[in-house]
Structure 1
């Protein structure tokens, strides 16, 4: 029986598996010690690959951290996408649920915990501030598709606006988590939902 779906080329599948294994190994190490005390050799050893393989794929320690941060940005998209699917017609609930789940996961992520603990880590901070371009671009592009190809059915331009705003705001909360008494997901939902609700209303009127 032929399998349905698009076949992923072997080399691409192998590379995705390698990257996932290395990033998982990095996460494991981060649960044991601070990022400042982890070397590429440590990650390679935990992942069961050579240091040269690690260098070939990620280029440097900074490149490895950026790839990990990109996966964190993908988690944001996955949470919001799932919330959109699970809250048909209720954009406020979708935003609130998606952001809540992302903030919970981000707070538990060992790289984020490493960023917030101990001495200031400028290399990690830059990944989500001055050097956040790759994260913003990837997450915005993916999230824009979620707004286009769901019940929201926003145009490409509309989807890009809301996705870019949501990603920028969400990432800004990582180095400076909301203080006690602040319900960030509810606040963000109240702020961003009217834009999407206006899109839905305009479509109904026409």
Structure 2
């Protein structure tokens, strides 16, 4: 965050960008329109966020942090049962994704021309995957899952990719998908 810009201003800027994206699409989001909506100068938006690619990255990272908070809560709640923690984390992410307006705007844009945000979730998602994998790896350390560190990394990355796939294109309810992924993990651990 830029020095001198309060956190609530940054959040208002990001909230305004989400609102504009869900209302009229990412292509219509400009720093000037965000500044106008937030009641700040355009320079404040640039100083705090940067140019539009940095805004896109900030939006996606903020969403990721909110999804990872759901994952962390699931692991904290199910502190003694590894499979239940995996199931609850998966369910929580998929349930949250169902009602996430920004995510829906990004995914639905694939049917039109406004796909500038999509690479942050798909082809340019290395940072997203790395961050999610690192957070989950920290959570599973306290469980006796029987996997080596390398095996755990492979399993986590695979699960994160599968969950992300279901976030982007769900084929079942969050409950059903969480059950399926939990079953798959149980087979790996078995």
For the aligned pair, the TM-score class normalised by the smaller chain equals 0.7 to 0.9
Give the match for residue 102 of structure 2.
Answer: 111
Task: Go from structure 1 to structure 2 and tell me whether the alpha carbon gap of 1:77 and 1:160 turns closer, same or farther (over 3 Å shift).
Answer: farther
Give the match for residue 40 of structure 2.
Answer: 49
Task: Go from structure 1 to structure 2 and tell me whether the alpha carbon gap of 1:193 and 1:30 turns closer, same or farther (over 3 Å shift).
Answer: farther
Task: Go from structure 1 to structure 2 and tell me whether the alpha carbon gap of 1:177 and 1:44 turns closer, same or farther (over 3 Å shift).
Answer: farther
Q: CA RMSD in A?
A: 3.1
Of 54, 57, 60 in structure 2, the residue corresponding to residue 66 of structure 1 is 57
TM-score norm. by structure 2 comes to: 0.78
CA distance in 2, matches of 1:182, 1:84: 17
TM-score norm. by structure 1 comes to: 0.73
Aligned residues: 186
Task: Go from structure 1 to structure 2 and tell me whether the alpha carbon gap of 1:152 and 1:130 turns closer, same or farther (over 3 Å shift).
Answer: same
Displacement, 1:114? 1.0
Displacement, 1:106? 1.6
Give the match for residue 27 of structure 1.
Answer: 18
Higher relative contact order (CA 8 A, sep 6+): 2
Of 136, 143, 161 in structure 1, the residue corresponding to residue 129 of structure 2 is 136
Query: Are residue 81 (structure 1) and residue 69 (structure 2) matched?
Result: no
Task: Judge conservation of contact 2:26–2:117 (CA < 8 Å) in 1.
Answer: no
Displacement, 1:131? 0.9
Structure 1 unaligned blocks of 5 or more? 1-9, 199-206
